[in-house]
Each structure stands twice: as structure tokens, then as C-alpha cells.
Amino acid sequence: MSRSFYKDISDPDHFVITLELVPGSEYRGLALDAVTQIAKDAMADGRVSAVTITDNPGGNPSLSPDVIGKEIVDHGMDVIVHFTCRDSNRGGIESRALQLARMGMRNILALTGDYSGKGFGGQGTPVFDIDSCSLICFFKMLEHRTRLEKGESERFFPGCAVSPFKQAEAETFAQYFKLCKKVGAGAGFAITQVGYDARKFEELIRIQKDFGTTIPTLGSVFVLKPAPARIMNRGKIPGAVVTGKLLDLVLREWEDKQQGRKSAIERAARLAAVLKGLGYRGIHVGGVHKSFSTLAEILDRLEKIEHQWQEFIPEFDFPQENGFYVYKKDSKTGLSVNSERNLPTSRAHGWEKVHFHFMRKVHDIFFNFESSLEPLFQKFSSMIDNTQLGRLLMHLTEDPVKKILLSCKKCGDCGIQHLAFLCPESQCPKHIRNGACGGSSRGMCEVYPDRPCVYVRAYNRLAVIGKTKDMSREFVPPRMWELNRSSAWLNFHLKRDHQTVSCVIARYCAPQGSCPFMSDK
């Protein structure tokens, strides 16, 4: 009998188990044989609802998850395909989606993706034509379109990732606000990144309830060995956190390999028990590479100890240095105090504050459809747009100003109004318009760790005026590439940019309500 992830996760009484498989860089060999055998054994075991297959993890080329996924589906095991935006433009993304549907794989983990790694002849070009929020929305709209055109009853089931293990206040809320957008765009489930902080795991469940954006969430359980522990500790796996204290503990355990393996399995089983006790709908197990027997041991152990989950909470107390928590700590449980939260303190200062207020004032006067001056601006823009000289004068005026103030890339479809008047094209290497990716560390950019994440800067700017909640509310349609190198000012007033042309996408993918929790004080 075939497995169905959608059916299992739709049953509130079913504790879902998924297993992450990582294809190698070759299309045949022992590593690939091990991956397929693990999937077959998982199917035979009967406790695993689906396997997930990574999509070029770390941005480095490996066997396509679509190919190996089809082989696994044919054996009866359901598959969740990791689908990243890194390597394809929206045309390639739609083509791949249709291919997956044809092959019978409709469970999607929608990801923006890690930055591009090494490929043939060096580093590949990072595409990032759309972000994970737009990708989720695309799948929902594609499903709607095919249902109308062909009457198909099968559906795509997109989910998302979320990383609660953030150190700074701004990046913590940036993650949670983006989760609101993902749910509004149509995400049906969420999977966390890897971490070992029970208080953070509980924070995610608690904040979803407070935000009113609760979806079935799987907590990541990783079988932690020395090599991946070192990599995570160095921040080489974006979003995953292994503190120095935990790394030292793992290294001591693995001084004896037999004892190390036993400790890793026990830690995984105890974390799974904690997650089940906290109310997670399931677990997503990673770090199983050679044999399904490792996961079988974890699940067997979980069945024996799951009712002791509260005893294990102190074993998952690995906070980041000076880490921010939304809720105050309960000294009795080691988790959070009901309804008591830490007040936000982060906000912009100095030039960031001055720049924000200036740009906001200018935008309210010159780029506001509700402004009494807007009819005049539209008429003037139409006159300029109709002559070559007018367009040249606009180019000579607009480009230098925006280059100085915004490091403008002249995309022609300006998105600064959605990002506290920071440019998503020049300031975010992934060109994300709908919220922070999961790769920031200590508030710094995943790709350029010497500069703050632009969404951290945006949060701090909006905190100045008590508007951080705005980061959760507005879905931003993808950039219109047909406007590249044209005047964004004219495109705005003549209603040619995403704010007008793509408004149907924004309406379809708008968050369902807002996140009312945040006080912004």
C-alpha cells in the first residue's frame, strides 16, 4: 500500500515521520544505492510518511531530486521534493513543476535556496528570479489553473521552511513575519531548521498560535555526528545552529565511536519526544545516510520514552550567546512563561534613521496613489514618456539620485517601499522581496557576513515608527523583468509596475489576516 504524506499530516492524531535523503553528485554508485535502499526500508517499516529529497544542498550540484524521487514513488513511498529558486528562472520553475506533476510528485518544500556553490568551471550564476513566498503562491495558482482547464482533482501540496534559531531580535521576528506570508501564500505545512534549543522550539509553536497562522509543523531532528556538528557550528549550513558547548559535548561522546553513535541516537530520540510533547505534528529526521536501521532505532526508542519528554527539556538548553527570545523564561520548566514576553528593544539609529525618515517623506509626496498631486504626476509622466528627449532627461535625473541614495540597480520595478526604503536588488544578494531567508547569522547576511541582513535593517527602521508588523502583511509580487533598465518613476505613475500589473497575484497570495501579536513598542 502506498504512503500518503498529505493524508497523514491531515490527520491530527497522526504523528508524522519524514526522512531527509541527500543524493550524491553521481547518477550511480554505492551512495545512490544506499539512498534508494533507505527509502525502500522506510516503506517496509511503515512508520515513515514520506522521504524528502534535497535540491543541490549548499548550492553544489548533485543528482536531481526529481529523478530519484520518481524511482522512490514507484516503490510506493511518498516523496516531498525540495524545490529551490536558486537555479531557474520562473519559466524553468513552471516547466519543472509540470514535470513533477506528470511524475506523480506533488508534495513540495518551497525554498529560496542556499547561495550558489561550485559547479562546472567555477561558481554558478545565482538566479533567484522569485523567492519562496512567490514559489508557494505559484504552486497554488498553477493548481487552480489546471483544475479549471483540465478538471484535475489532484493537488500540489506546498510547504515551507522556518528557522526559529536566530540570535538577534530583528532576524527572529523577520523569520516569524515571513512565516505569516508563507501561510497566507498557501503553505500547508512547515519544517524547522536544525537546532537544539527546546525553548526556541516551543517559541515557534507558541508564536504561531499568537499570530493565528498555525499550520502542521515538523521539528527537525538531526543525528548529530562530529563532522556535521563542526560544519553547523561554523555556520556553513544556513539556518542550522550547533553551539560551541554542544559541539564540545558531541566531540567528547565520539572519542569512542560506539558510544558516540549510541549518544547520537539517544539524543535524537529524546529531542523527538520533546517535540511531540510540545505539540509538533511530527519530526523531520536528517543525518541518516547509510542505513535505515539508524532511524528504526530512534523510532523504537521514541516509543519507549515519549511520555518522559518533560524530563529531557534541560538536555536541550543550548542558547546562542546573547540570544533573543520572544517570551520570558519559565525557571521551573525551562521553557516560556504564558503571555509574558520580552519587549522589543532593537531599532535604527543615526544615518539609518535619518535616511528612512527622509525617504518615507519623499515617497509619501511623490509616489502615493492617494496623494492629491498624483493626477498631476501622472499627466506629467505621460508627457515625458512620449518623447525621446523626455525619457533622456528622466534618465539623467533619476539614475544619479537613486544611485546615491539607494545603490539602485535600475530594475525599473522598484520595491523599496516594501523594505523600509532599502533596495532589495542591491542590498540582498538573493533579491528577496518577501522577507528574510533563513541563512542570516547573528543578524548578518548569509552571503556577505560582513554586512547586516537587509531585513534586519528594515525591521530596525520600521521599529522607529512602530510599524514592524507591516513586514508580515504585504505580499510583494515578483519583479517585472520586462521593465529592466527603464524608469521606475515613470512606471509607477503610469501604472506599469508590479503594484498595478501584478495586483492579481498580490490579492491571491495575500496573508490571511495579519500577525496581531507584536506591540511595536
Q: How many CB atoms lie within 10 A of CB 90?
A: 17
Residue at 377 is within a domain: yes
Angstrom distance (rounded) from CA 284 to CA 17: 6
| SS3 call for 309 | helix
Angstrom distance (rounded) from CA 248 to CA 277: 27
Q: Which residue has the cell 498560535?
A: 209
Continuous segment of H or E residues that includes residue 32: helix 30-45
Residue at 384 is within a domain: yes
Please work out, in degrees rounded to the nearest 5, the angle formed at the alpha carbon of residue 358 by the alpha carbons of 354 and 359.
115
Residue at 443 is within a domain: yes
Residue at 252 is within a domain: no
Q: What is the pLDDT of residue 467?
A: 93
- Grid cell, residue 243, equals 553551539
Identify the bridge partners of residue 327 per DSSP, sorted by sequence position. Answer: 341
Give the end-to-end CA distance of the chain in Å, rounded to a whole number.
54
Strands (E), 231-386: 282-286, 327-329, 336-341
244 burial via Cβ count (<10 Å: 0-12, 13-18, 19+): exposed
Angstrom distance (rounded) from CA 257 to CA 459: 45
Residue at 446 is within a domain: yes
Q: How many CB atoms lie within 10 A of CB 149?
A: 8
CB 431 within 8 Å of CB 128:
yes
- Grid cell, residue 271, equals 529531542
Angstrom distance (rounded) from CA 136 to CA 109: 9
Q: What is the pLDDT of residue 143?
A: 85
Show the low-confidence residues of the chain (pLDDT under 50): 519, 521
Q: What is the pLDDT of residue 504?
A: 86
CB 59 within 8 Å of CB 82:
no
3-state secondary structure 358-388: HHHHHHHHHCCCCCCCHHHHHHHHHHHHCCH
The overall longest dimension of the chain from CA atoms, in Å, is 78
Find the radius of gyration of the CA atoms of the chain: 24
The values of phi and psi at residue 427, to 5°, are: -100, -15
Q: What is the pLDDT of residue 61?
A: 84
Q: Which residue has the cell 491530527?
A: 12
Q: What is the pLDDT of residue 521?
A: 42
CB 17 within 8 Å of CB 92:
no
468 burial via Cβ count (<10 Å: 0-12, 13-18, 19+): buried
- For the stretch 224-274, pLDDT in tens is 999 999 999 999 999 999 999 999 999 999 999 999 999 999 999 999 999
Helix, strand, coil percentages for the chain (3-state, nearest 5): 50, 10, 40
How far, in Å, are 385, 392, 484 from residue 389 at the CA level? 9, 5, 19
49 burial via Cβ count (<10 Å: 0-12, 13-18, 19+): buried
| Alpha carbon 426 to chain centroid, angstroms | 20
Q: What is the pLDDT of residue 183?
A: 94
Residue at 480 is within a domain: yes
CB 190 within 8 Å of CB 217:
yes
Continuous segment of H or E residues that includes residue 455: helix 454-464
| SS3 call for 353 | helix
Taking alpha carbons only, the member of 118, 111, 122 closest to residue 60 is 118
Q: Which residue has the cell 566531540?
A: 251
Dihedral (CA of 334, 335, 339, 341) sign: positive
Q: Total domain count for the chain? A: 1
Residue at 330 is within a domain: no
Identify the bridge partners of residue 441 per DSSP, sorted by sequence position. Answer: 444
| SS3 call for 423 | coil
- Grid cell, residue 452, equals 547586516
- For the stretch 126-160, pLDDT in tens is 899 999 999 999 999 998 887 766 665 568 999 99
Show the domain range for 457: 350-508
Residue at 410 is within a domain: yes
Angstrom distance (rounded) from CA 365 to CA 455: 25
